[in-house]
Structure 1
Amino acid sequence: MKKIELVVLKLRDFKGIKSLDIQLDGGNAQIFGDNEVGKTTTFDAFLWLLFDKDSNNKKDFAIKTLNSDGSERHNLEHTVEGTFLVEGATVTLKKIYKEKWTKKRGQAVAEFTGHVVEHFVDEVPMSKKDYTAKVESIVDEEVFKLLTSPTYFNEQLKWQEKRKLLLEICGDISDEEVIASNTSLAKLNDLLNGKSLEDMKKIIASKKKHINEELEKIPVRIDEINKMMPETTVDVETMRQQVAKIEANIEELQEQKIRVKNGASVLDKQRQLQELEMKRSDLKRSFEADSMQKVYRAQAKLQEVQGNTQIINSKLQQADNNRKFKVDEANRIQDDISRIEKEMDELRKEYRVIEAEEFKHGDNHECPACKQSLPAEQVENARNEALAQFNESRTYRLAEINRKGISHKEHVAELNNSLTLLRNEHDAILAEMNKYQDDLVVQDKELKKAQKALETAQSSVKDVTTTDEYKSINLQIETLQADIKQLNEHAYEAVAGIDEEIDKLNLERKECNNAIAQHANIEASKERIIELEDQQVKLAQEYEKLEQITFLIEEFIRTKVNMLTDRINSKFKYARFKLFDTQVNGGLNEVCETTYKGVPYGTGLNNAAKINVGLDIINTLSAHFGIQAPIFVDNAEAVTKFIDVDTQLISLVVSEKDKQLRVEVEGQHPMLKEAI
């Protein structure tokens, strides 16, 4: 059994406590004090020293001391030091939380830039990582919290974490053991088919939800189908025969219409018309072929000249942009030269001022302490030393001005070289632009020449429509078109009558088809209703099977929990644990609730019972983990008698009369501890 005892705990400027030393020497103790005197702060300091958290398991709690107006008091070192006896060996841990003040370059006053924490083990400074490793080598954080606070298990852990820890203590029960203890569970292994209970419960819940959703939708769907079904019925076979007869009549009328429209004379004249139109197109194409070639060549030449002109303009624009950039760069350099030359003038003035300085030495030859005259030799030595310092300072400042002047002069020379180079480049660009301007003048002449050549070629193209042959063909085409129009007008009346008959038959066929389609929809709706009713029955049967599996799973859980409850409760003297709730529908809901004499910890147990139940749990956990650690009991005034514990017990007791902390250690005289 690993035993950890607290020997002494020291606080300095921690959460409002200026100075507090508690000497325990590993013994049980009672710490008395009025409200807000600092009892709980001692436990907060103890946990912060180890794990950076307070007694409420929070990291971001206030450590710093506050002024009366609530503002933070600066420049304090908030210190907690604890000496422990770990398996007979003494270990001293210390942490200092303090402000970090940083003086930035060019600032006279340091600024507050955050906080730092310093760590020490046996007075040896350590990094946070090494310090944490040292604490972990003593005890695990979660285990230590479980063993040092009677309320941590019941008030800080989630029920799932508590249940898991209890199972670690007593050992879990295998599914095979549970099934073997109850013959009604024999079928469960086959139903699970290798899946865990939790996974099967999730699968069942998902399936039941889906089935319920589908069962709710089916009556609505059936009702909608019934409402949409028409009540009338038709003789489908008769309707189909009628449609076939109508389509045969329409086909006969369409053929009759074609015969009327396509008379022999109309077809012959249409053929002649097509031949004449082709002849006219061939005439126009061959007539214009030679003269149009000249136009095409002139257009190609014009496009070539226009493209060359566009290229030269683009190069000219690019050169001009480059020229403007050189001008801007030269102006910038000229501004730099002017600025540096101005700085050089200022340096010259400063040089003349320093050079004109004269050494001056005071005539006061008295001692500043006793007011007696100083020896002449001492006065002369002081004057010589002051003169040497004056000359050294002036020489240094003049040399520094010379260095800056030389640097500026060299920089100006470099800038002038760059300026000369830019001007040369600018002149070269101007020459290039002049060349492009000359090229544009040449291209402009070429452009005008190409435009004139195109106009000449276009004017030389002959108009085919003015020739006798073209006019003769056009006259023949117009005559044929008039003949075809006259023949068609005679056939229009006959065709119109046929179209009217076809329209009537199409309308009658549409009505028959609508009736057939309506009958098909009614039959499909009836079949759909039957399908939905069958689906409703199948879903209900599937739901019933899922309910049976659910019952078996719940019976399994109930059996296992009863077995676990007995095993777990046997590990504790006072604490008992409720591991499941029975729901209204008979199902089971897994929980983990601590009780004492049948009273739930969270709803009806008084503070004394809560503390003693917590101590009982610590006794069991201490035996399980093989560790004994100091126990802090807050609000210990509620308990008249603690249950027996085998480890160091530190009770924090509210006592109105104690305006300062009073510590009573078993076997020692009471001590008053200032905690202001």
Structure 2
Amino acid sequence: MQIKFLELKLASFKNHGNLKVNFTDVTRISGTNGAGKSSIGEAIAWVLFGVDSLGSKSDPSPTTYDFEQVEAELLLTVDDKQVLLGRTLPVGKAAKFYINEVPKKAKEFEEIVSQLFDKQLFMSLFTPSFFFTQHWEEQRAQLLRYVLPPANKEVFAQLPAPQAEKLAEQVKKKSLEDLQAQHADNKRKQDKALIAAKSRTKTLIEQLESAPDTNDIDAESLTQKLCEINKKLDDFKEKQGEARAHNAKIEKLKVQLQVTKDGANKIRAEYKQIHSIPVENECTMCGQKLTDDAAAVVIDNKEKQLDEIKSRYQVLSDQYSRMEKELTGLEIVEIDDAQALFQQKSDIESQLKTIESQDRLALAIEEAKQNERDIHESYTESVFILDSIKAFKAKEAELMAEKVGGLFETLTLKLFAENKGDGEQKPFFEVEVNGKPYRKLSTAEKILAGLELISVLSEQSGVAAPVFVDNAESIIKYQAPDGQLIECRVADTPFTVTEV
């Protein structure tokens, strides 16, 4: 983009009651101090943006004479497109704006100017000192806006292979900023987790050390012995069941014998009672004497009743004899006491539980140690990645500084500063000439530094704008900018504009 000034008209602008300046490739303005040389640069900035040549709000109203309104009009071209910009400031009223002599509202005027060119870039190209009036972050951002940072591959090529390989793999999935945040957080978490893991391992080891010594206990032998005892107990339980069934059978026979005996005695008593009752010769119902046939029937009935009783008695007697004989062949089986076996079993199980508990402790200790190793590995990886990112940023800063520094001949730029806390490279910006920071330079040195910076900004941005050099008498020799030059010098002559 090529920006050129053609003509500037001023009316009641500071000490210029009525002035017209025609611009060429080189326009020289001379005159005594206070003649209004610097006002030319201020007028251009005021028409465009309502500020002075350093970007500050300004009131260009005259102070030495009466006036109705301040007027400024700038005719310029942007890539051969001509435009006439105007701004007036009536006394006691708001400013008015014009595009090609057509009135415009303030916002519309600002939008049209912003479409022509960027305010910050234009002011930095127009005035050698404007760039340095900005905050260092704005200076840095503006300069780097037109300089591509080194590619990741360039930086990786300068890093040790392990760091480069690790980061190259990681940045395929996440940005460096996200990686840094992720692993800084993981480092903090794993640092705390490692403390807790070590504490748990220590506690488990102390528990194992305080447990009974089981080194002399043969777990395999105890297990085999326990199996033998369990088998004996199973045999004992089987025999115990058989003995109890046998003894229960005896007790049942005894009960049955007694029941049979009691039944037989009851039948015997019944027989004796019926046998002792005499046969009556008279009828028990009517009292008449029985006939011989009737008496015979009564006697026969009694005999039959006694025979039936004798038969029932004989059945019980035979049953009693059988059971008595069976009982005679049976003996009560004594049940042995298995308490000793149960005690042995309890002792062995207790020892095996102790061994099992210690085995679990030993396993828990191994798991805790593995957990420690896993946490430490995660912690170490995060530390490595964070160190790699730190190394990457340091190398990137170094390459960026070399790249930007290579654009300048006399200026040295500091783009990064080391953080005292962690040694990381933090964004920073300062311009130096021969080791002296810009703020300590002389007026001539500051102008020369500004001109060199304008040259670089113009080349990198692709924009050539007029350059307004005030106090040019303080510098003897300098390289002319690519665009128009407006040079102001103090001279013991009236205010003069010379078109070269």
Q: How far is the alpha carbon of 1:4 from its aligned partner? A: 2.4
Q: How far is the alpha carbon of 1:46 from its aligned partner? A: 0.6
Q: In 2, distance between residues paired with 1:62 and 1:642?
A: 32
Q: Name the residue aligned to 1:405.
A: none
RMSD across aligned positions (CA): 3.9
| 1:174 and 2:151 correspond | yes
Q: Name the residue aligned to 1:62.
A: 59
Equivalent of 1:662, from 482, 490, 496? 496
Q: Name the residue aligned to 1:256.
A: none
Q: Name the residue aligned to 2:49.
A: 51
TM-superposition CA deviations, 1:464-491 (whole Å, max 9, x none): xxxxxxxxxxxxxxxxxxxxxxxxxxxx
Q: In 1, distance between residues paired with 2:27 and 2:3?
A: 15
Q: Name the residue aligned to 1:453.
A: none
Q: How far is the alpha carbon of 1:3 from its aligned partner? A: 2.6
Q: In 2, distance between residues paired with 1:18 and 1:597?
A: 41
Change (3 A) 1:67 1:140: same
| Unpaired runs of at least 5, structure 1 | 101-114, 219-536, 667-676
Q: Name the residue aligned to 2:245.
A: none
Q: Name the residue aligned to 2:445.
A: 609
Instruction: Look up the equivalent residue of 2:123 and give its one-letter code.
Output: K
Change (3 A) 1:589 1:190: same
Q: In 1, distance between residues paired with 2:132 and 2:183?
A: 32
**1:34-433 to 2 correspondence within 5 Å?**
34-59=32-57, 61-66=58-63, 76-88=68-80, 90-99=82-91, 115-156=93-134, 158-159=136-137, 161-182=138-159, 183=161, 184-189=163-168, 194-201=173-180
Change (3 A) 1:164 1:50: same
Q: Contact 1:581/1:591 (CA < 8 Å) preserved in 2? A: yes
Instruction: Look up the equivalent residue of 2:489 and give its one-letter code.
Output: V
Instruction: Look up the equivalent residue of 1:53 and give its one-letter code.
Output: V
Q: Contact 2:394/2:424 (CA < 8 Å) preserved in 1? A: no
Change (3 A) 1:194 1:594: farther
Q: In 2, distance between residues paired with 1:53 and 1:139?
A: 16
SS at match of 2:98: strand
Q: Name the residue aligned to 2:459.
A: 623
Change (3 A) 1:65 1:645: closer
SS at match of 2:150: coil
TM-superposition CA deviations, 1:470-515 (whole Å, max 9, x none): xxxxxxxxxxxxxxxxxxxxxxxxxxxxxxxxxxxxxxxxxxxxxx
Q: How far is the alpha carbon of 1:540 from its aligned partner? A: 10
Q: In 2, distance between residues paired with 1:130 and 1:632?
A: 27
TM-superposition CA deviations, 1:434-492 (whole Å, max 9, x none): xxxxxxxxxxxxxxxxxxxxxxxxxxxxxxxxxxxxxxxxxxxxxxxxxxxxxxxxxxx
Q: In 2, distance between residues paired with 1:582 and 1:553?
A: 15
Change (3 A) 1:636 1:202: farther
Q: In 2, distance between residues paired with 1:203 and 1:46?
A: 51
Change (3 A) 1:67 1:553: same
| Unpaired runs of at least 5, structure 2 | 197-372
Q: How far is the alpha carbon of 1:205 from its aligned partner? A: 6.5
Q: Name the residue aligned to 1:596.
A: 433
Q: In 2, distance between residues paired with 1:200 and 1:97?
A: 55
Percent identical: 27
Q: Name the residue aligned to 2:418.
A: 582
Q: Which has the larger radius of gyration?
A: 2
Given the two structures, how large is their TM-score scaled by the length of structure 1? 0.41
Q: How far is the alpha carbon of 1:556 from its aligned partner? A: 0.4
Q: Which has the higher helix share?
A: 1
Q: In 2, distance between residues paired with 1:67 and 1:206?
A: 66
Q: In 2, distance between residues paired with 1:152 and 1:199?
A: 36
**1:433-444 to 2 correspondence within 5 Å?**
none
Equivalent of 1:567, from 372, 379, 403? 403
Q: Contact 2:397/2:416 (CA < 8 Å) preserved in 1? A: yes
Q: Name the residue aligned to 2:3.
A: 4
TM-superposition CA deviations, 1:70-120 (whole Å, max 9, x none): xxx6x62111112224444543322111146xxxxxxxxxxxxxx222222
Q: In 2, distance between residues paired with 1:88 and 1:4?
A: 8
Change (3 A) 1:205 1:631: farther
Q: How many residues align?
A: 322
Instruction: Look up the equivalent residue of 1:148 and give its one-letter code.
Output: F
Instruction: Look up the equivalent residue of 1:64 and give its one-letter code.
Output: S
Instruction: Look up the equivalent residue of 2:47 and give its one-letter code.
Output: L
Q: In 1, distance between residues paired with 2:414 and 2:397?
A: 9
Q: Contact 1:44/1:55 (CA < 8 Å) preserved in 2? A: yes
Q: Contact 1:8/1:21 (CA < 8 Å) preserved in 2? A: no
SS at match of 2:146: helix
TM-superposition CA deviations, 1:377-403 (whole Å, max 9, x none): xxxxxxxxxxxxxxxxxxxxxxxxxxx
TM-superposition CA deviations, 1:652-671 (whole Å, max 9, x none): 3345x45x5333332xxxxx
